[in-house]
Structure 1
Amino acid sequence: MNRHPTPSGELVDLADADPFGLQSRCWRRDADGTVHQAARADSLADRHTPLDAQALFEYLYFHCIPSPRTVFAGVSRVPAGHRLNFQGAQPSLEVAWAPRFRPAEKVSFEALREEFRTLLKASVQRAIAGDGPAACFLSGGTDSSTVAGMIREASGSGALAFSIGFEADGYDEMEYARLAARHFGCEHHAYYITPDDLVRSIPEVAGSYDQPFGNSSVLPAYYCAFQARQAGVSRLLAGDGGDELYGGNARYAKQRVFGHYQSVPAPLRSMLEPLLLQPGISRVPILKKAASYVEQARVPMPDRLQMYNLLLRLGIDEVLEPGFLHQVDVQGPTQHQREVWAWAGSGAMATPPSELNRTLAYDWRYTLAESDIPKVRGATTLAGVEVAYPMLDPALLEFSLHLPDDYKLNGLKLRWFFKEALRGFLPDEIINKPKHGFGLPFGPWLLRHAGLRALATDSLLSLGTRGMVRPTFINNLLSQHLAEHPGYYGEMVWILMMLEQWFQQHRPSWRV
């Protein structure tokens, strides 16, 4: 922990501008004005530091605790793209960086493709510089496969590549990882995670974080990194960022479809909405989809992005105890999202960014900085391996800011430029495959593995005694809902289980 007296009259930047939150930066200010800094929030707290009820609510909402809040009252985390300003009586946050999209009007695809490939190779070359073998995560998707291929381009030899598989229908992507490994001459290390692995590792992984963290793909990431460490690897290259910089998430196409509704003449909308939004209309099959479309399309961004939020769909009052809800602002997450949406448009030059670009920048904060980067950072730290993110290199970020919108989302084709620029480099099967990632078959496994079911059940029943989550909801979740839709309700079981496992190791006696 660094001890930093507050200076007067000058701006102190704790680190270079960090658009993606690659480094965790936390701080706490004492009553005498002394500022303490550390990478981990729990380094700035002790067993007497109260937990922040609002942070716990936001964990259930976002499945992580978005900065600047942390689970510890009085301890804050510097958000991505921000810095601490020490001018004045106490430190405050200010924007250090915001995206400035400048889409090129006249572009040559061939020239951009060559520039993109050159930047990718140079980024990977910088990331593998130093001692030790060049190694990477390899899920078999476009991002990790590109990193594996660029390692060969940059070093002249195949990477050590580490993949995770699952013995579960619809979850295993190992065939694509093996395809990429053969194509790029990788030394391929594959490991199949079992439910027994989860039972053994869930408490360790949950407790390793400085605050509750609910991204379930942290377990596959940890096992990848653990296998790499066992193979003598000291640094892994991760492929995170390709979707968020180049338009690869399915929700971008979905939101474009909803955006078309704004072009419908207002008089026609005023006729459609009373008809399609009246109670009971969703029970009419021919009108159900139209009603759902209008219901979502009329909600402005960014609120529209949370219409399928798990906590909201299950019902806040159904999930949480009244005594806990009295301590929190249930509109806090909505306000947080609106502030991030404002930040995503704050770097505009002559014209505001398009809704697509603004949504990408919004995801840089929530998907990358608050979820995926902490996931990889935590998993690799626990395994004892360093990590680098060549896709998030500053030169590649700047390159993405200049790409035209239709190079990112061409009609409804996701990240069109990225895929076409790498056609002939990546195998066509990987370019054309559906998006997947390191999805964990936790819900289906719960139904058939007694040890995993026991761990989850014991965790949730213990959580139900803390005055935060309703025991009746927990009982219904485990006895009824999980069997109805294990993939959907399994996510909620995971979120609650990881929260309780964190409590047991950090604050076992905590109650509302």
Structure 2
Amino acid sequence: MCGIAGLFSPSANINAERLQVSLEGMTKTLAHRGPDAEGLWADPVHGIGLGHKRLSIRDLSPTGAQPMQTGHGRHVIAYNGEIYNAEELRSELHQQGVSFDGTSDTEVVLKGCALHGVEAFVPRMIGMFAFAFWDAEKRQLSLVRDRLGVKPLYYACFQGVWGFASELKALYKHPHWKADINRQAVTQFLRYGYIHGPISIFSQVYKLLPGSLLQIDASGTTQEHVYWDAREKMREGQRTLYRASHNELVESTHRMLRDAVKRRMVADVSLGAFLSGGIDSSLVVALMQAQTSQRVRTFSIGFSESEYDEAPYAKAIATHLGADHTELYMEPKDAWDVIPQLASMYDEPFGDSSQLPTYLLSAMTRKHVTVALSGDGGDEVFAGYARYFLFEDTSSIEKKFWKLASDILQRTPASLLQLIARCAPARYKQDFVGRLTRMVERHYVDYLSRYRQVCLTHWPAPGDLVVGGSEPHDVLDDRGFLDALAGKVSQMQAADTLCYLPDDILVKVDRASMAVSLEVRVPLLDHRLFEHAWRLPADMKVRNGLGKIVLREVLSQYVPRQLFERPKMGFGVPIDHWLRGPLKDWAQSLLDPHTMKGQGLLRPEAILPSWQRHLAGENFAYPIWNVLMLEGFLQSSAHAVCAD
């Protein structure tokens, strides 16, 4: 895994010295992502420069160094990621007359894109990646991100000069950096605890969306292509459901899981796995151990508070599988040591408090291995979150009735509704239309709104907290897409896959692991497995209030059910207790009303009552943590923020 950065001035209006200095500054900012080597390449005549920080995983020799050029110098790449079918692609390219200097997957991507074109070659790649590809003849820069958003890529354009980087902080070194806070992003962050792409915390900076390819040509014209569309894969999957038997579907899923895990075990450095004791990580470790003669190194984190502690379960799974297990117990002091690093580590405000144990787990793991496999993605792909089962599916007849009522209500002229209202009993006359609309919404449309409010929301009215704040559109507002999916669980899965997964879960893992130069691989997010999962009948994922049915069936072939069949705990931390105890003074200092007033962004009078109620014993930990992370970001990044 690596860090990439670069600049492109289509009009070539940046001099060679400034290009070099800015490129060096951007690249050095990413040193933690690649401590093994640094490379710079620039062509001032064409206004282009690429930077790379290398974490050596495959082909540790100089032939894997980046930025990498083709022999004739027309094509150059700066690449971050791993391609798991690199050897098959290398063999195909070799048969087509392509020669190779080394064994890195970077060279496969470079020469594959050079021969076939980026748009044609990227869909053939299995892996996680974000890269920049320069074509000197076309004077065209292509920025590419993997299908589900495992690897990050930010970009911006200031005064006609495009900049891009693996992390937002590298863009601070852009020669014309000038950015202000995006108040819509702040409002969205306070609701969810993360900022959903393509927007970022800065109005002028964007995230390249998963499955996308952005091309910038010599005139400065941009074109964004979606080479893999998760929405379409979900719809297509439900249109083409498998008709095989239960046992056949379990076995086909088993084969795909084994292949996804095996491909991610290839490395020229030491390798291990995160193990929480839950279904996903246990399954990954079981499949690793089944495909190697070596004891798999596994790592877990625990808490002294028993309601948060999964470490004993992880240890029991590791013992059963014969893994070489290491665990660390987290205390409040450990959190205190990490908190000052969070704003710099995450670049943007980030409110998922499991960022703390994820970082500590990564740091402990990195002492032993360079690569770790993780079970992330299983809940979104195979429907594992307990919150999916809070909303019982109505019967098909009832659902059709309320859908019909909703359609009729939307199509009925207002004048006719008012006429009907005049005929209603006296006690219903007042706000008759509003009452009727709300009743229909509660039964048909509004469960998605309730899902947002009950399960995803931290601050229920975030616009009230932000001066000039409003919420941007997100996928839960796209009822046309969600309503086209069969079943409420599928609709909630889709929303989480498009928002929560790339902008919370994968951000958390990427930043925490790369802060300590650890590469984390996620086999359950193999795109082939994703497409397969959406073709499974609903009862292979959800049955009798349980999710991940097919994963449970596969895991039971390796681990006794009594070791993993228990209520899901998640990767939470006792932040509610800590905020009333060892973290109280720190929190109090960040919630200073005079500081917040002076920033002109938040309304302290709308926030502080919740803080006082939390101190009094109620639980407002998540919303308060969001504000603390925002304030930490604002104070640490003040130098990068332009005054409104």
Shifted more, 70-79 versus 36-45: the winner is 36-45
SS in 2 for 1:424: coil
What amino acid is aligned across from residue 162 of structure 1 in structure 2?
Answer: F
Which residue of structure 2 lines up, in the alignment, with residue 252 of structure 1? 388
TM-superposed CA distance for 1:490, in Å, is: 0.9
Q: Is the 8 A contact 1:460 1:497 kept in 2?
A: yes
Distance 2:216 2:486 in 1: 31
**1:188 — aligned with what?**
325
Structure 1: gaps spanning 5 or more residues: 279-291, 346-350
Counterpart Cα distance in 1 of 2:159 and 2:197: 22
Residue 492 of structure 2 is matched in structure 1 by 359
For residues 454 and 508 of structure 1, the distance between their equivalents in structure 2, rounded to whole angstroms, comes to 25
Call closer, same or farther: CA 1:400–1:490 in 2, change over 3 Å. Answer: same
Residue type of the alignment partner of 2:211: G
Separation in structure 2 between the aligned mates of residue 482 and residue 83 of structure 1, nearest angstrom: 47
2:610 paired residue number: 477
Matches within 5 A, 1:47-446: 48-86=178-216, 90-98=221-229, 99=233, 100-102=236-238, 103-230=240-367, 232-257=368-393, 262-264=399-401, 296-300=442-446, 302-308=448-454, 309-313=456-460, 315-316=461-462, 320=465, 324-325=467-468, 328-330=469-471, 332=472, 335-338=473-476, 354-446=487-579
| Correspondence for 2:148 | 20
Higher-RCO chain (CA-CA 8 Å, sequence separation at least 6): 1
| Structure 1 residue 427, shift from structure 2 partner | 2.8
Structure-1 residue corresponding to 2:586: 455
Instruction: Give the secondary-structure state (helix, strand or coil) at the position aligned to 1:144.
Output: helix
Query: Which one is further off, 303-312 or 125-134?
Result: 303-312
Distance across 2 between alignment mates of 1:249 and 1:259: 22
**Structure 2 CA distance, aligned partners of 1:257 and 1:392?**
27
SS in 2 for 1:307: helix
Aligned to 2:637: 506
How large is the Cα RMSD of the aligned pairs?
Answer: 3.3
Q: Give the Cα separation in 2 of the matches to 1:173 and 1:397.
A: 27
Whole-angstrom CA distance in 1 between matches of 2:290 and 2:311:
23
Distance 1:317 1:114, change over 3 A: closer
Say if 1:256 and 1:356, in contact at 8 Å, map to a contact too.
no
Residue 41 (structure 1) aligned with residue 165 (structure 2): no
2: CA distance between counterparts of 1:445 and 1:126? Answer: 41
Structure 1 contact 180–427 (Cα < 8 Å) conserved: no
Per the normalisation by structure 2, the TM-score is: 0.67
**Cα gap change, 1:482 to 1:80, in 2 (>3 Å):** farther
Percent identity, please: 26
Deviations 1:242-285 (A, max 9, x none): 11111111233334536865245689999xxx99x99xxxxxxx
Q: Rate the CA distance shift 1:375–1:57 in 2: closer, same or farther, 3 A.
A: same
Q: Aligned-pair distance for 1:457?
A: 1.2
**1:10-69 alpha-carbon deviations (Å, 9 max, x no partner):** 9975226x231012122222443x432222223223574222222222211221111111
Q: Post-superposition shift, 1:196?
A: 0.9
What is residue 494 of structure 1 aligned with on the other side? 625
Distance in 2, Cα, partners of 1:266 & 1:399: 30
CA 1:252/1:240 → structure 2, altered by over 3 Å: closer, same or farther? same
Q: Is the 8 A contact 2:158 2:178 kept in 1?
A: no
Who wins on radius of gyration, i.e. which is larger? 2
Cα distance in 2, alignment partners of residues 385 and 342 from structure 1: 40
Question: Could you tell me whether the CA contact under 8 Å between 1:101 and 1:357 is conserved in 2?
Answer: no
Tell whether the 8 Å contact from 1:101 to 1:353 is kept in structure 2 after alignment: no
Q: TM-score, normalised by structure 1?
A: 0.83
2:52 corresponds in structure 1 to: none
Instruction: Quote the offset at 1:422 in angstroms.
Output: 2.3
- Give the AA of the match of 1:249: Y
Aligned residues between the structures: 474
Q: Deviations over 1:388-433 (max 9, x none)?
A: 1111112312321221122112253322222123223233134311
Deviation of 1:329 (Å): 2.6
